[in-house]
Structures are given as structure tokens and as C-alpha cells.
Amino acid sequence: SKAKKEEIKAKESSESLNSFIKENSNIINFFNNEDNLDKTIHIIEDIDDIGGDLDNDNINNNKIRENEDGYVRLARKAMDTYVKTGGELLVPDNLPKDSPDDLLNRRAGAFVSLHIDGRLRGCRGTIAATKDNLAKEIVANAISACSTDPRFSPVTERELDLIEISVDVLGEAQAIASPEELDPQRYGVIVSRGMRRGLLLPMLDGIDTVEEQIAIAKRKAGIGEYEDCSLQRFEVVRHE
């Protein structure tokens, strides 16, 4: 009869529920504990916060890219191309849209610096022009900064969106007679002794005095602290 069938169905449902409770008693007991339930809610909230942070990071990274000028956009495109494909960005065919004419019409030394969260991730450059134009100089140094800086492992594809880039275009180096003609906020310095040569860019965080600037440049060149050396200064135009 219909009543009998409903009775059997109810019994089967009851047995299934009892079986489920028995098999999952540990989970049920866990959530019956208010402390455990609070911890679980906090974990879920933390996950939501992490997701929000990631969304904010993506927004910030997009804003950084939107504000980059033509020099930095070229360096980034060269870096992205090399890390993703292993190939060199060819110019002028692949210059970013609205790139300044200076990139093709000028020759100059340039440095490309990479940072993640304010920490250096790579920096390579040339004191004087080594390529046909500034665009090729930047492309070559962007590739070197992300792949051959001996202080760091090569940049990975997962890091690309985290990297902030600056490009320093160097002016002509001028010989100077004394450290008094230096200013670490305005001038970079080149120290030379024989075949040994070292360079330090201006406007670097933590480098506040001429003495610090020269000492670091000498260490980079392998020149002893008390060895004499010749000095040159140069100005840069920094693109970010």
C-alpha cells in the first residue's frame, strides 16, 4: 500500500542519515565545538583577505604599467619577451606604441634596474653606447638585467607582473680632479685604475655621501680602499 511504501522510504532515509552521521562523526563533532567553528570562520576570512590582497596587487601592478614611459615600456617588453620565449625583442619593428623618437635617433649608455617590493632584483647596463641606437641598448640591458646579473638567479615568468623597472640614460662622462665635484644625488661616478673600472649610479637609496659612493664604486672595480684612482662624473635621466 501507499502508506507502507512511505514507511519503508522513511526508514531507509533514517538509516542513511544514521549511517552518514556515524561515518562523519569526527567532522560533526569538530564543528559542534564553538572554538573550532570560530577558527574555521577565521581561516575563511583570512583566505578572503588574501584574495583581496592579490586583487589589490593586480590593480597596483596595472597602475604601475599605465604610468610607465616609453623607455620603461620598451625595457619591460624586452624582458617579458626574453623570459617567455628566450628570444630578443627586435627593434624598430616591435617598439611600443608612441615611443619617443630619441630611442632610434640617439646613442647613449643606459642601465636597466629591476625591483620587487623595493628590493633589487637585477641591474645591468653600459657606461657608453655599444649599440646602433638607444632602443637596442635598452633591449640588450633589459635582457641582461633579468638573466645574467651574477648576484641573482634569472627572472621567472611568475615574477614578471611583480617587477618594477627603471631605465637610466647616461650623459657624457666628465673627468674631475676632486671628490668635491661629486654629489651622489646628482652625479653618478666612474672610478678607474688601469684596466679596472667601476660605476655607481646617482640617486640610490642608502647612498648619502660622496665617500660611500666612491667606496662602493671602487669595490665593484676591484680597486683597493687605499689605492689611488681617477674619477669621472656623469648625469642621468631616470625613467620609471
Span 75-121, pLDDT tens digits: 999 999 999 999 999 999 999 988 999 999 999 999 999 999 999 99
Q: Which residues on adjacent β-strands are paired with residue 123?
A: 113
Residues facing residue 160 across a β-bridge: none
pLDDT of residue 66: 77
Confidence of residue 37 (pLDDT cuts 50, 70, 90): very low
pTM assigned to the model: 0.71
**Rg (the chain; Cα; Å):** 30
What does the pLDDT read at residue 98? 87
pLDDT at 68 over 50: yes
Q: How many CA atoms lie within 13 A of 149 on its CB side?
A: 21
Q: Which of 119, 125, 116 is nearest to 188 (CA)?
A: 125
Q: What is the pLDDT of residue 44?
A: 44
Runs of H (alpha helix) within 175-239: 210-221
> What confidence score (pLDDT) does residue 97 get?
87
Asked if pLDDT for residue 133 goes beyond 90, the answer is yes
Across 117-136, average pLDDT: 96
CB count in 10 Å sphere of residue 235 = 15
Q: In the structure, what pLDDT confidence band is assigned to residue 183 with cuts at 50, 70 and 90?
A: very high
State the distance between the two ends of the chain, measured CA to CA, in whole angstroms.
83
On the question of pLDDT at 213 being above 80, the answer is yes
Q: Report residue 6's pLDDT band, with 50, 70 and 90 as the boundaries.
A: low
Is the Cβ–Cβ distance between 76 and 82 less than 8 Å? no
Q: What is the pLDDT of residue 26?
A: 62
If pLDDT is split at 50, 70 and 90, which confidence band does 194 have?
very high
Distance CA 147, CA 81 (A): 12
Residue 107 φ then ψ, to 5°: -115, 135
Q: Which of 47-56, 97-106, 154-163 has the lowest mean pLDDT?
A: 47-56
For the segment 152-177, the average pLDDT, to the nearest whole number, is: 97
pLDDT of the residue at 67: 84
CA angle 73, 75, 80 (to 5 degrees): 90
> Per-residue pLDDT averaged across 230-237, rounded?
96
- Cα 68-60-120 angle, rounded to 5 deg: 70
Mean pLDDT to the nearest integer, 216-240: 96
